[in-house]
């Protein structure tokens, strides 16, 4: 089997790039002839089509990347299999995607979203995202590299560190977490809430709104926002430095960092919806807060990335759910349970580690990929 992967290559620290990199690594370790190329590099992609002559081209992204991941390789007569996440609403390319022999998606929720938005679903298979369980593994907080993270963030040894990581924090549920922490503040053990976000214009504006909320709630002295570009090498130590990973995300097609936190032996607080229903087990590896609110839209504005002219107004026949809000009171209760009970944190962390190793290790995902391709396409 000769496989060409199209994604954000060379890999950045972002989720889609890591998704592609770990599949490449897993396939390579299995002895599969595999190469990777940047999904937007038309010239280099064509170069690979001509000399490598792949049996299958796998494009990693979301439906809006269809021109780069599907249409371009189809021009050269190669078999295409996209591996997609969702962004809440699939606005275009239904006929193109339905005509493919196979479409991979990252969770059962993503599959449901694509079927809701018009795909027939007959060619859709779920393939979860892999995790490097060697790099993301339990580490003692006294280990120098881990201790240095807490020291740099200003978190004392005796403080409970709650962590949220994302492109921005609000989309990962940080505002709901802050409201929950404010409810618990006077009765909970000493804590710090760290939000690690990525430097970009929208993040700057969102950070200001989040910090204003923290000030309004009276917990701003305990909330730390850190905005830096970091590599994947740093992430295992950041996750190991925390006591609780809290990300009851508003929109989550898989939840890679929740999985990585579990792999590091950390309990997770999530939401009982979307991709986390596949990846986390309530009461065992994580606490999943109930959905308190679904944000629905009757219409939206689409543009070039959706295959329309800029400013195209689309009205739904029925209001569409575009994101979720977790129950603040559930989050507060689960946080208190974990903050007051170190043995519970340890127990759930161990269960989380076990589940990730058995189900989401990148080598297991690569093996499942090969099995799906062999079964559905007859390529071996």
Residue pLDDT, tens place only, 180-196: 999 999 999 999 999 99
Q: Provide the pLDDT for residue 201.
A: 80
Helix (H, G, I), strand (E, B) or coil at 38: strand
Per CATH, 2-130+361-377 and 144-290+327-359 having the same topology is answered yes
Spell out the residues 6+ positions from residue 134 whose beta carbon is closer than 8 angstroms to its own.
Answer: none
Residue 320 has pLDDT above 90, yes or no: no
Q: What's the average model confidence in pLDDT over 139-156? A: 97
All structural domains of the chain with their residue ranges: 2-130+361-377, 144-290+327-359
What are 91-116's pLDDT values in tens digits?
Answer: 789 999 999 999 999 999 999 999 99
Q: Name the band, by pLDDT with cuts 50, 70 and 90, for residue 307.
A: low
Confidence of residue 318 (pLDDT cuts 50, 70, 90): confident
pLDDT at 47 over 80: yes
pLDDT tens for each residue of 235-290: 999 999 999 999 999 999 999 999 999 999 999 999 999 999 999 999 999 999 99
Round to whole Å and give the CA distance between 89 and 97.
Answer: 15
Strands (E) in the chain, as ranges, are 2-7, 33-38, 56-62, 80-85, 103-105, 124-126, 160-166, 191-197, 223-227, 244-246, 268-271, 286-289, 291-302, 312-326
SS3 breakdown of the chain: % helix, strand, coil, rounded to 5?
45, 25, 35
pLDDT at 73: 97
The pTM assigned to this predicted structure is: 0.94
CATH superfamily for 144-290+327-359 is: Glycogen Phosphorylase B; (3.40.50.2000)
Q: Is 50 helix (H, G, I), strand (E, B) or coil?
A: helix
Superfamily of domain 2-130+361-377 in CATH is: Glycogen Phosphorylase B; (3.40.50.2000)
Indicate if the pLDDT at residue 299 is higher than 90: no
Q: How far apart are the first and last CA of the chain?
A: 5
Quote the CA–CA distance of 162 and 177 in Å, as a whole number.
9
């Amino acid at each position: 089997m000769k496989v060409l992967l199209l994604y954000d290559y060379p890999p950045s620290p972002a989720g889609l790039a890591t998704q592609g990199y770990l599949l490449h690594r897993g396939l390579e370790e299995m002895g599969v002839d595999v190469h990777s190329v940047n999904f937007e590099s038309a010239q280099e992609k064509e170069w690979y089509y001509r000399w490598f002559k792949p049996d299958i081209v796998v494009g990693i992204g979301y439906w809006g990347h269809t021109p780069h991941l599907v249409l371009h390789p189809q021009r050269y007569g190669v078999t295409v299999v996209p591996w997609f996440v969702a962004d809440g609403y699939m606005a275009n390319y239904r006929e193109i995607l339905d005509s493919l022999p196979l479409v991979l998606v990252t969770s059962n929720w993503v599959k449901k979203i694509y079927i809701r938005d018009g795909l027939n679903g007959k060619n859709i298979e779920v393939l979860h995202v892999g995790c490097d369980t060697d790099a993301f593994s339990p580490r003692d907080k006294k280990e120098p590299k881990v201790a240095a993270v807490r020291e740099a963030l200003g978190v004392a040894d005796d403080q409970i560190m709650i962590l949220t990581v994302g492109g921005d924090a609000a989309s990962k549920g940080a505002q709901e977490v802050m409201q929950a922490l404010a409810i618990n503040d006077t009765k909970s053990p000493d804590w710090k809430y760290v939000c690690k976000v990525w430097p970009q214009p929208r993040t700057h504006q969102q950070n200001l709104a989040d910090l204003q909320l923290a000030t309004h709630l009276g917990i701003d002295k305990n909330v730390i926002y850190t905005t830096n570009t970091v590599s994947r090498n740093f992430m295992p130590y950041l996750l190991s430095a925390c006591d609780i990973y809290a990300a009851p995300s508003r929109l989550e097609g898989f939840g890679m960092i929740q999985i990585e936190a579990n792999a590091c032996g950390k309990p997770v607080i999530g939401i009982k919806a979307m991709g986390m229903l596949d990846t986390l087990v309530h009461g065992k590896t994580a606490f999943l807060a109930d959905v308190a609110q679904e944000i629905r839209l009757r219409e939206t504005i689409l543009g070039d990335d959706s295959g329309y002219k800029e400013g195209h107004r689309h009205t739904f026949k029925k209001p569409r759910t575009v994101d979720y809000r977790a129950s603040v009171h559930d989050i507060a209760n689960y946080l208190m349970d974990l903050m007051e009970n170190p043995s519970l944190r340890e127990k759930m962390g161990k269960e989380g580690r076990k589940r990730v190793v058995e189900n989401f290790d990148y080598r297991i995902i690569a093996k499942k990929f090969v099995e799906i391709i062999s079964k559905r396409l007859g390529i071996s």
